[in-house]
Structures are given as structure tokens and as C-alpha cells.
Amino acid sequence: MSGQAPDNQSIESKIFKPGQMVGPYVITRWIPGGRGGMATVYQARLHNQGEPVALKVAHVGLGDFLKDEAAFLRILDLDHPHIIKILPVPLGGGSTEYIVRDPASDSWYFAMEYMAGGSLEDWLRRRKRLTLEETVKVVRQVGSALDAAHRLGVLHLDVKPSNILFAEDPQKTDHIQAVLTDFGIARPRGRVGGRALTLTIEYASPEQARRAQGEEVQVDHRSDLYSLGVLVYEMLCGRVPFRGRNDEKVLRTIVTEEPPLPVKGLPDEVNRILAKALAKDPEERYQSARDLVNDLEALLPADARPRRRPILTLSFNPLLGILLGFLLGLALGIPLGRWTAALFPETSPTPTATITPTFSATPLPTDTLTPSITPSPTTPPPTALPALKPTHTATATATATETLPPPTSTRRPTNTPTRTPKPTR
């Protein structure tokens, strides 16, 4: 893949070349696939030293979008293993900021962890389609990230292969580590407004398609789950369910036509899961990513399912505890009154804050420990969105009745040194 900047100059923006500086960062290259509707992503190094980072630089006039995205990533600062991490930008005097305007270029930017393994889009371009086990690994991790965002009331609204990045090339490792990135058009639940958001049509939910056509319809977390269903369909079938050259026609098809199911070559159980994931009515879909993953995992061989850590449960008999404590007190010469006071101290209950969640979903298991949530400062509501033209992603075509060939086997090189990635894009 080339590290040169893209030729398409239809979006007004400053193109930075290797060696140029943005704030304290030195650009090393443009990241392939990193040019979007609102920003361009570069690989860069702080003062040209240390580990690379992914530097996201807003296009002219779209700094507010970048501010919104940085705010959402700060809200989602759970240290979640499958959500891209935003990094503090060091400024003069030892201070740091998460979203900064570069005075030399008048460009807004922020830094993220750099993911060295490319994107799901890259993987599908090489492999066309994945095995069920590979698909479940990716969906489990991306679904965990979506459920975490949804519990905080944040909608991603642009779930697609290019927004799923890997710490290492998934074709060269058995340990797939995926992260969800690009919260550029993410919105709080209930604040999805405007006739048209930046949209990748093939992955849009029926609700998003109807809104892009001018209808006033509600968009909630189940829109992201529909897009996740499109990803499952594409990973297993090698194509998206709806595509075409005419954007308006594709939007109408997403709203009015059923997805091409069943797909020959897929088990009936998988076809049923896809039908539920891609239901037109949000009420008929999966209500959380965890539910979707549970159904997919049930189709895997027992040795391919994630191991659940057993929970050790200890029972305590109060009478036995009193008896043992009494005998111990006698043996040590401790007066009975002092022992009972120490065992059952009179304390006032500690007041606890009551939290009302905006959305309840059982978190997905990950290969790491459950992250702790650190409260973040209240973020002001995002600014109003300008209407942006939906984008179109070309995807390989195939008919629903086509019998799927077996997936290409994953190539694994020998004696490949282990890399410790500093993850994104």
C-alpha cells in the first residue's frame, strides 16, 4: 500500500507531506484508507521520536466535527480494549489537550493510538470472505465496543469495515485484536438530527436510509446493530446485501426490499441469524450485540468458544462464624464484648449514588479483564450538523443464489517476529 496522499482533491483540505509538522508531531506518511469526508489520518511521531501515533486532521471548516469526535472518545474513556484510544497532545508548560488547533496551518487535529495491522476492509479485500470462527472473533470484539458505547447513550452511526482496525495483521496471528474507530458522526441517543449525515450507504440501516431521504424517523442503538449485521453478512458471504451504482436506488432498496436470504452454502442457523440481524423493524432485530454474538457462538465447536472464567462462590454460616470466633476469643483471652464489637461493628451505611443507565446490555467477554469506567467531565452537546452527501463504497457483487466457495485459508508465515503494536489509524 502506498503512503502517498490521495489524488482526490474534491474535499478542500491541506495535504501534509512527510516531514511537515502539525503541532508537535512530524508527519511520516498518509495512512492508506485514512481520507474521509471530514478529516485525513496520518502516521506521525511526537517530535519525530518514539512510537508512531495516528494523527487525525480535520478538513477546512470541519473542525467542529473533530471536536465532537474527541469529546465522544473522552466520554468513552473506559480503557476499553476494543475502542480506539485518544492520546493527550503535549503543549508548552507541561499542559496537554485532546483537541488542538495548529496555528501554522489553522487545522484542528487530535492524536490516537496507531494500529499496525490494517483494517477489516484490507482483510476482506485479500480474503473476500472469512470463516465463521474468524467472523465471531471480530464481531465479539466490535460488539463489545458498541455495547459499551450504547450503555453510555452514544451511537456510532458509521459501523463499516474501514472503521475496524487491528493491532496486528489478522492473517499473521491467531490472536485477533480489533478496535472500533472513527466516531466522527457519533451522536448521543436522541440527538440524531438533520436530513443527511455522512453515510456509507451499503452499511446504513433502514432508519438511516429513510432519514437520508428526508423522513423524520427515530434512530437508536439498533441502527448500529443492523450495520453490525451487514458486517456479519459480508464477512461470511463476501458481499454486502445491498449495493448498486445509484445511491438513491440503493437507499430505497434498503428500506423496501428484504435482504437476499437464504444464502446457499450457509447453514440454516446462520441464515436465520442474518435474517434477524437485518430485520427492517428495529423491534425484530437483536437488541444488543451480546445477543447476536451468543447466537453465533452457539454454532461454533465447543473448543472454539470463549472460555468463561468460573466464579468461586463461598458460603458463610453466621452461627459457625460466631462459634469459631468465640472459641478463638477464649483461646486468646479476648473479652467476649470486645470480640463481638470487632466482628459486627456498628457503622452507618455508606450512601451510594444512584445511576440510571440509558441502555442496558450485558457486556461481551473479552480476552482482557473487564475495564473499569472512569467518569469523565460533562461534555457539552455537539454542534448542529451540516447536511453532508452520503458516501459510496464499492463492493464486489454476487447473487444470493450463488453457492459460496470455501473461504481462502489464512496464510501464516514462519519465524515472524512478534510486534508490540502501538495501536490505530
Choosing from 68, 122, 147, 158, the catalytic residue is: 158
3-state secondary structure the chain: CCCCCCCCCCCCCCCCCCCCEECCEEEEEEEEEEECCCEEEEEEEECCEEEEEEEEEECCCCHHHHHHHHHHHHHCCCCCCCECCEECEECHHHCEECCEEECCCCEEEEEEECCCCCEHHHHHHHHCCCCHHHHHHHHHHHHHHHHHHHHCCEECCCCCHHHEEECCCHHHCCCCCEEECCCCCCEECCCCCCCCCCCEHHHCCHHHHHHHCCCCCCCCHHHHHHHHHHHHHHHHHCCCCCCCCCHHHHHHHHHHCCCCCCCCCCCHHHHHHHHHHCCCCHHHCCCCHHHHHHHHHCCCCHHHCCCCCCCCCCCCCHHHHHHHHHHHHHHHCCCHHHHHHHHCCCCCCCCCCCCCCCCCCCCCCCCCCCCCCCCCCCCCCCCCCCCCCCECCCCCCCCCCCCCCCCCCCCCCCCCCCCCCCCCC
Average the pLDDT over each of 16-30, 95-109, 308-322 and give the range with the smallest value: 308-322
pLDDT band at 76 (very low <50, low <70, confident <90, very high): low
Q: Is the pLDDT of residue 374 over 50?
A: no
Distance of alpha carbon 102 from alpha carbon 415, whole angstroms: 43
**Closest alpha carbon to 202 in 125, 259, 271:** 259
Q: Is the pLDDT of residue 192 over 80?
A: no
Q: Is the pLDDT of residue 325 over 80?
A: no
Provide the CA 193 distance to its chain's centre, in angstroms.
Answer: 22
The pLDDT value recorded for residue 406 is 58
Q: Which CATH number fits domain 21-113: 1.10.1270.20, 3.30.200.20, 3.40.50.1010, 3.30.450.70?
A: 3.30.200.20
Q: Encode pLDDT of 234-272 as tens digits.
A: 999 999 999 999 999 999 999 999 999 999 999 999 999
Q: Please state the domain extents for the chain.
A: 21-113, 120-304
The pLDDT value recorded for residue 375 is 43
Q: Encode pLDDT of 113-160 as tens digits.
A: 999 999 999 999 999 999 999 999 999 999 999 999 999 888 999 999
| C-alpha dihedral (158, 161, 165, 169), degrees to nearest 10 | 180
- Mean pLDDT, rounded, for 190-216: 80
The pLDDT value recorded for residue 352 is 40
- Mean pLDDT, rounded, for 42-67: 90
pTM: 0.70
Q: Is the pLDDT of residue 369 over 50?
A: no
Provide the CA 419 distance to its chain's centre, in angstroms.
Answer: 22
The pLDDT value recorded for residue 144 is 97
Q: Is the pLDDT of residue 379 over 60?
A: no
Q: Is the pLDDT of residue 357 over 60?
A: no
The pLDDT value recorded for residue 414 is 43
The pLDDT value recorded for residue 380 is 42
- Mean pLDDT, rounded, for 306-313: 51
Query: Three cell numbers at 1?
Result: 500500500
pLDDT band at 61 (very low <50, low <70, confident <90, very high): confident
The pLDDT value recorded for residue 387 is 41
CATH of domain 120-304: 1.10.510.10
Strand partners, 157: none
Q: Is the pLDDT of residue 419 over 60?
A: no
The pLDDT value recorded for residue 146 is 96
Q: Catalytic residue at 79? A: no
**Looking at per-residue confidence, does 361 or 291 come out higher?**
291
The answer to whether 237 and 404 are in contact (CB under 8 A) is yes
Average the pLDDT over each of 40-49, 152-161, 212-221, 349-358 and give the range with the smallest value: 349-358
The pLDDT value recorded for residue 42 is 96
Report in angstroms the alpha-carbon separations of 312 from 227, 309, 315, 369, 372.
38, 9, 10, 16, 21
Q: Is the pLDDT of residue 341 over 70?
A: no
Average the pLDDT over each of 70-84, 206-220, 277-291 and give the range with the smallest value: 70-84
Portion of the chain with pLDDT greater than 90, in percent:
51
Query: Three cell numbers at 383?
Result: 454542534
pLDDT band at 332 (very low <50, low <70, confident <90, very high): very low
The answer to whether 16 and 42 are in contact (CB under 8 A) is yes
Chain mean pLDDT for the chain:
76
| C-alpha dihedral (200, 121, 75, 370), degrees to nearest 10 | 140
- Single-letter amino acid code for the residue at 190: G
Distance of alpha carbon 9 from alpha carbon 161, whole angstroms: 23
The pLDDT value recorded for residue 403 is 54
